[in-house]
Amino acid sequence: MTFQYPTPAEAKLIAGEVFASRYNDAAFAFAAGSIMRGEGTFLSDIDLVVIYDRIEAARRESFYCRNIPIEAFVQDLETIGWFIENDIQRGRPSLLNMIVEGHILGQEGNARKMQSWVAGLLAAGPRDFSQDQLDSLRYQITDAIDDLRGQRSQQEIMAIGASLLPLLVELSLRGRRQWNGTGKWAPRLLRRADPILAEACDRAFRKLFQTGVVEEVISVAEAALAPHGGVLFDGYCQTAPASRRTTPLFGLDEDLPESGSG
């Protein structure tokens, strides 16, 4: 029997049912996700951003309604600001997209105001990479392609490739001051931003995962790094904040010999 995911109209009814039965004391909510856009596939879920006037702590809940998975992000008017700011800092607007594209349930007036405010944030784009953030990403990519140059098993090559691909996507998107994405969104956003680079990545990583041939991935990575200063290892320094301290472990401060003692 073929699974039939709901149409957008049916998904709105399911979201409304969940909102009325499970979150009936909330102010409003936004129902979003691929099903709502008419792009649902097997096990696609409905994302539900639920806004209360006040709750003790934000939470994320997962459950089923009519055999459709629901991911609920339960917030209030204060916690939502922290999570939106976190999305902006990371350059990954998951929550912002859900709010802007969401079907409104509950108090429409306030929900529209929030949608308008978040739409402005989304249109403004992510904040610029700091030099420290850019250098950290360059260093990680350099480290990964240096690892690929060594004698590696197929398993190790696949693991390195799996960690390298999202780093290249992040560099390519954030380097263009565009929003980043992970998982299934990574190739979609990369193709939208740079179809030629997206095709080169797809071809190179397919070869890497299927045959273990690393040269094409290394070439793509070096080309992606070039506009941002190229590979980075020699001279790289990352300094931890001075506040990152704890009490000395195991009393070692008492046992260490003085400098210069035998």
- The pLDDT mean for the chain works out to 91
Pair 12, 97 in one domain = yes
Pair 106, 19 in one domain = yes
Pair 136, 216 in one domain = yes
Number of folded domains that form the chain: 2
Pair 36, 99 in one domain = yes
Any domain includes 245: no
pLDDT tens digits for range 133-182: 999 999 999 999 999 998 999 999 999 999 999 999 999 999 999 999 98
The boundaries of the domain holding residue 36 are 8-124
Pair 135, 67 in one domain = no
Any domain includes 58: yes
Any domain includes 261: no
Pair 113, 27 in one domain = yes
| 1 — pLDDT class (breaks 50, 70, 90) | very low
Mean pLDDT computed over 69-74: 95
pLDDT at 195: 95
pLDDT at 40: 66
Pair 120, 135 in one domain = no
Quote the radius of gyration of the chain (alpha carbons, Å): 23
Pair 194, 109 in one domain = no
pLDDT tens digits for range 182-211: 888 899 999 999 999 999 999 999 999 999
The residue assigned the tokens 């696609």 is 44
- What is the percent of the chain with per-residue pLDDT over 90, rounded to a whole number? 76
3-state secondary structure the chain: CCCCCCCHHHHHHHHHHHHHHHCCCCCEEEEECCCCCCCCCCCCCEEEEEEECCCCCCEEEEEEECCEEEEEEEEECCHHHHHHHHHHHHCCCHHHHHHHHCEEEECHHHHHHHHHHHHHHHHHCCCCCCHHHHHHHHHHHHHHHHHHCCCCCHHHHHHHHHHHHHHHHHHHHHCCCCCCCCCCHHHHHHHHHCHHHHHHHHHHHHHHHHHCCCHHHHHHHHHHHHHHCCCCCCCCCCCCCCCCCCCCHHHHHHHCCCCCCC
Cβ-proximal residues to 257 (8 Å cutoff; 6+ apart), any chain = none
Pair 84, 143 in one domain = no
Any domain includes 233: no
Any domain includes 1: no
Any domain includes 244: no
Tokens linked to 141: 């990519």
